[in-house]
Homo-oligomer: A and B are copies of this chain.
Amino acid sequence: MRARSAAIAGRVGHGVAVDATASAGKRLTREARRAQILEQAAAYFAEYGLTAHTRGLADACGISQRLLYRIFPTKAALLEEVYRTAILGAFRHEWLPPLRDRSVPVQARLCRFYEAYHAGVLTRSWMRLFLYASLAEADMAPNYIGDIVSGLLDVLVEEVAHEQGIVLPADKPFLDEVAWTLHGAVSHLAIRRHLYGASRQLPVAEVVELHVTAFVDGFRGMVGTRR
Contacts and interface: CB of A to CB of B under 8 A. Distances in A.
A174 B202 contact: yes
Given A185-B184, A187-B188, A225-B210, A137 B7 contact: yes
Contacts of A196: 134, 141-142, 145
Given A131-B135, A139-B8, A222-B210, A2 B51 contact: yes
A210 B49 contact: no
A131 B75 CA distance: 23
A207 interface: yes
Contacts of A9: 76, 137
A44 to B, nearest CB: 14
How many copies of the chain does the oligomer comprise? Answer: 2
Nearest to A195: B134
Contacts of A192: 180, 184
B141 A195 contact: yes
Contacts of A133: 7
Nearest to A53: B1
A176 B197 contact: no
Contacts of A191: 188, 191
A38 interface: no
Contacts of A195: 131, 134-135, 141
A136 B138 CA distance: 20
Interface string A8-22: 111000000000000
Nearest to A127: B135
Contact of A5 (B137, B142, B213): B137
B138 A197 contact: yes
Contacts of A10: 74, 76
Interface string A198-210: 1101100001001
Interface of A: 1-5, 7-10, 49-51, 74-76, 79-80, 83, 128, 131-142, 145, 173-174, 176-178, 180-181, 184-185, 187-189, 191-192, 195-199, 201-202, 207, 210-211, 213-214, 217-218, 221-222, 225
Given A49-B49, A184-B192, 15 more contacts: A5-B136, A7-B51, A8-B50, A49-B51, A134-B196, A177-B199, A177-B202, A180-B199, A181-B210, A184-B184, A184-B188, A187-B188, A210-B222, A214-B222, A218-B218
